Amino acid sequence: MLERFIILGATGDLTARYLLPALVELRQQGLLPDGIWIGVGREAMTNEEFRKSLANRLAEHRPDLPEATREEVVSWLEYRQADVTNHHDLQAIIGQATGQSAVYLALPPAVHEPVLKTLASIPMCQHSRIVIEKPFGQDLASAKRLNGIIRSAFAESTVFRMDHFLGMQTVQNILGLRFGNRVFEYLWNREHIERVEIVWDETVALEGRAGYYDATGALRDMVQNHLLQLLCVVAMEVPVSLDERDFRDRKVDVLRAVRRLTPEEIVTNTTRGRYTAGQIGERRVPSYVEEEGVDPGRGTETFAQVRLFVDNWRWAGVPFVLRTGKALARDRHEVMVVFRPVPHLAFSQGHPRPNYLRLRLNPDRVELGLNLNGLSAPLDQLDQAKLAADFPPQELSAYARLLLDVFEGNAVLSIRGDEAEESWRIVEPIQRAWAEGAVPLLEYPAGSTGPDFKQ
Ligand code: NDP
């Protein structure tokens, strides 16, 4: 039974935007366990000031949640001021607990290592659940160091490396679609699939998050974690079960099979870009480099595209294109599976478009593109029809779902230590080549479809 839930970094954006709303959702559904709720930040504040600030930010981010439940959850939270990199401060907060705690590191990645070291040295914590936000590490070496600290003090099953994409309904639907039906799995391979696109295009720009984003960039913020996790779910072999071990073993298999790009392949298979000033709908967006807190000299990318190959029997030669960008013309969040053309066409007219399966995330929708006889000349011509199913919003948001797993001690949807390292193995050479300028930083106007390039 959890005695305490402690959020380190409780004055930050993540807490107000995702964690608190998730707690309110769980409370609404009667799923929030009893316990003591503590938020930790560096600012000097009374409990009342902290609660008031959280209540305002909750109202701003999730006005749809009932006010009474929002107030109830906020009123339970207590505030502690501490520098969490300071051993004594952290010991004073966590060392008091007598039962099991969950400690959530909603902190900038730069302080994860000192904080984990301190947590590892507090005996009380060794019975706790530790929740770590992404990105896990800044590169392969730092991810290995973090895993080393974790291994020295905690059991892997008590450590939750968060990737909230795994809590999304459509991502879980991919598993149902693939492993709960006969119709797809036999086609789900290089014989029938030509390419897979995994896309997270956003209309939002920096939104005041330079402090985090400018030191991170699109590749580390999105590709290293969220998009590679989507790749795992799309490309994995059929697991024996969906328990912690089987599910995560099969995901690691995929990451291990992803070819590490050579320097030459990085030049031809990756693209990076940065937005300049532009218009998105009614919104005038300043150039990224003019946003407050941005250091233009860093050359941080706001657009990243990489073409990867999964070198195994099922997928050899099939490109997986992973793409994400900020300040783009439209939101496009999807996995697009494009099938190969039929081997012979009996129709005299028309070039059929390829069959496709589109899995849209947020709002959730599954779409299948099928070619059928056209209405005008039924025997000669083909038209493409779209079969679609829309899903209602999921009952629990992704964060609520994953927090519930933390409370229940179920780590199946958290990232295992070896997965995090394998992801860095794929991304690090690209990151290094980009930092060395091997791939040009292309510009694209905000509100466009991204940089002009051929891949
Ligand atoms: P913010 O910069 O908004 O907040 C960071 C928090 O950490 C602040 O409360 C900050 O306190 C606190 N902090 C930093 N250093 C210390 C310290 N030494 N002692 C005590 N507190 C400290 O970042 P976010 O909330 O946006 O992000 C946090 C993590 O969540 C990151 O790993 C990010 O990648 C991840 N994440 C964020 C998402 C988002 O949309 N925001 C989405 C998904 C993941 P202070 O105010 O005093 O600096």
Buried b (16+ CB within 10 A) or exposed e, 254-275: bbebbeebeeebbeebbbbbbb
What is the distance, to the nearest Å, from the Cα of residue 344 to the centroid of all Cα atoms in its chain? 40
Q: Are strands 129-132 and 159-161 parallel, antiparallel or unpaired?
A: parallel
Q: Report yes or no on 450 lying in a domain.
A: no
Same domain, 109 and 174: no
Token readout for 192 is: 């029938």
**Who's near 408: CB < 8 A, 6+ residues apart?**
none
- Which residue, by CA, sits nearest to atom 6 of ligand 1? 9
| Crossing angle of the two packed helices 244-257 and 228-235, in degrees rounded to 10 | 100
Contact 330, 200 (CB under 8 A): no
Same domain, 324 and 417: yes
Name the more confident of 143 and 374.
143
Å from CA of 105 to ligand 1 middle: 8
Å from CA of 108 to ligand 1 middle: 5
Q: Report yes or no on 332 lying in a domain.
A: yes
CA angle 213, 214, 216 (to 5 degrees): 60
Name the more confident of 376 and 22.
22
Q: Are strands 193-201 and 319-325 parallel, antiparallel or unpaired?
A: parallel
CA distance 38 to 95: 13
Radius of gyration in angstroms for the set of CA atoms belonging to the chain, rounded to a whole number: 23
CA distance 402 to 164: 7
Mean pLDDT across 237-261: 97
Mean pLDDT computed over every residue of the chain? 93
**Who's near 319: CB < 8 A, 6+ residues apart?**
195, 196, 307, 308, 309
Å from CA of 18 to ligand 1 middle: 12
Same domain, 88 and 228: no
CA distance 438 to 433: 5
6, 17, 87, 107, best to mutate for ligand 1 pocket (most atoms within 8 Å of CB): 107
Same domain, 108 and 238: no
Q: Is 12's C-beta closer than 6 angstroms to any atom of ligand 1?
A: yes
Q: End of a domain among 112, 133, 154?
A: 133
Same domain, 292 and 375: yes
Q: pLDDT grade, residue 384 (50/70/90)?
A: confident
pLDDT of residue 66: 95
Same domain, 124 and 170: no
- Please give the single-letter amino acid code of residue 319: P
Name the residue range of residue 215's domain. Answer: 166-445
* Cross-strand bridge partners of residue 371: 384
Strand locations in 140-252 (E): 159-161, 193-201
Asked if residue 350 has pLDDT above 80, the reply is no
Same domain, 102 and 177: no
Same domain, 174 and 45: no
Asked if residue 122 has pLDDT above 80, the reply is yes
3-class secondary-structure state, position 342: coil
7, 11, 15, best to mutate for ligand 1 pocket (most atoms within 8 Å of CB): 11
Query: How many domains does the chain divide into?
Result: 2
Q: Report yes or no on 152 lying in a domain.
A: no
Supply the CATH number for residue 42's domain: 3.40.50.720
Asked if residue 347 has pLDDT above 90, the reply is no
Å from CA of 134 to ligand 1 middle: 11
Q: End of a domain among 118, 133, 148?
A: 133
Q: Is 81's C-beta closer than 6 angstroms to any atom of ligand 1?
A: no
Supply the CATH number for residue 426's domain: 3.30.360.10
Å from CA of 212 to ligand 1 middle: 8
Contact 302, 273 (CB under 8 A): yes
Sheet of strand 193-201, all strands in order from the earlier edge strand to the far edge: 382-390, 365-373, 356-360, 332-339, 193-201, 319-325, 303-309, 270-276, 441-445
Q: pLDDT grade, residue 140 (50/70/90)?
A: very high
- Which residue, by CA, sits nearest to atom 2 of ligand 1? 12
Name the more confident of 112 and 349.
112
**Catalytic residue flag (residue 88):** no
Same domain, 125 and 230: no
7, 14, 20, best to mutate for ligand 1 pocket (most atoms within 8 Å of CB): 14
Phi, psi (degrees; rounded to nearest 5) at 321? -100, 120
Asked if residue 376 has pLDDT above 80, the reply is no
Name the one residue in this structure whose structure tokens are 């999921």.
394
Q: Which of 226, 333, 344, 351 is catalytic?
A: 226
Same domain, 107 and 256: no
CA angle 393, 338, 425 (to 5 degrees): 80
Q: Report yes or no on 157 lying in a domain.
A: no
Q: Report yes or no on 140 lying in a domain.
A: no
Same domain, 118 and 213: no
What CA–CA distances, in Å, run from 75 to 24, 242, 266, 448? 12, 37, 51, 44
